[in-house]
Structure 1
Amino acid sequence: MKNQILMLAYISVAVGIFGGMLIVLLLSIFRQRQVINSLVSPQDFLGLPCIVEIPFDTNSRGKVSLSIKGSNLQLIARTEESKEFTKGEKVFIVGTENNQVWVVSPSFFHNQE
């Protein structure tokens, strides 16, 4: 009886170790296939909506904020639209140049049709 309990304990420990190693192996295989990239490139900004933080117009620069890949960014913004963008207004990024973004209002897309 004592030998059976001891043998059952050894088998339980062996099964536990084997199961744990199997889980670690499967997780490592899954993680190797997973692409993790939090690097943000200027091309990632195109088409994204953002919010005006510092007002601006055609003759001045302002600042916009946006969320991308889990990060909140604030960027210098410019526009070629002949309108003034006010704080809190929603705009869309249409280009990047020299660490600045070029933005347009949502109505810009409706006027192009």
Structure 2
Amino acid sequence: MNNSILVIAGIAVVLGLIVGVFIVGLIYVQRRRQAVDSLIRIDNVVGCFGVVEVPLNHNSPGKVRVNLKGSLVDFVAFSDEVHQFNQGDSVVVVRIDGNKVWVVSV
């Protein structure tokens, strides 16, 4: 009776180790396939929604905050629209040049 319990416990430990190594291997293979890229590119900014932090209009620049890949990024913002953008207004980025963006209202 004691021998059968030891045999079953040994088999359970070995199977647990085998399954654990298999799961770790699957996770390793899956992680290698994922591309981690935290760089912000121009094509990631255009079309994004943002919030006005510093008011702006067609005569004076302001500042907008955009959520890119989980990070909040501030840009100097310009607009060709005639009306005033106030703090908290939602905007869409339509063009970017360096760290300057052109926005329109939502």
Query: Does TM, scored on the shorter chain, surpass 0.5?
Result: yes
Post-superposition shift, 1:34? 2.1
Aligned-partner SS, 2:93: strand
Q: Does 1:47 align with 2:47?
A: yes
Q: Which runs of 5+ in 1 are unaligned?
A: 107-113
RMSD across aligned positions (CA) = 1.5
**Greater Cα offset, 92-101 or 80-89:** 80-89
Q: Give the SS at the match of 1:37.
A: coil
The aligned residue for residue 86 of structure 2 is: 86
Identical-pair percentage: 39
Question: What does 1:17-28 align with in structure 2 at a 5 Å threshold?
Answer: 17-28=17-28
Structure 2: gaps (5+ residues): none
Alpha-carbon deviation of 1:52? 0.9
Give the secondary-structure state (helix, strand or coil) at the position aligned to 1:94.
strand
Query: TM-score of the superposition, structure 2-length normalised?
Result: 0.87
In structure 2, the CA distance between the partners of 1:98 and 1:36, relative to structure 1 (3 Å rule), is closer
Normalised to the residue count of structure 1, the TM-score between the two structures is 0.83
Query: Runs ≥4 in structure 1, deviation > 4 angstroms?
Result: none
| Partners of 2:49 and 2:8 in 1: CA distance | 62
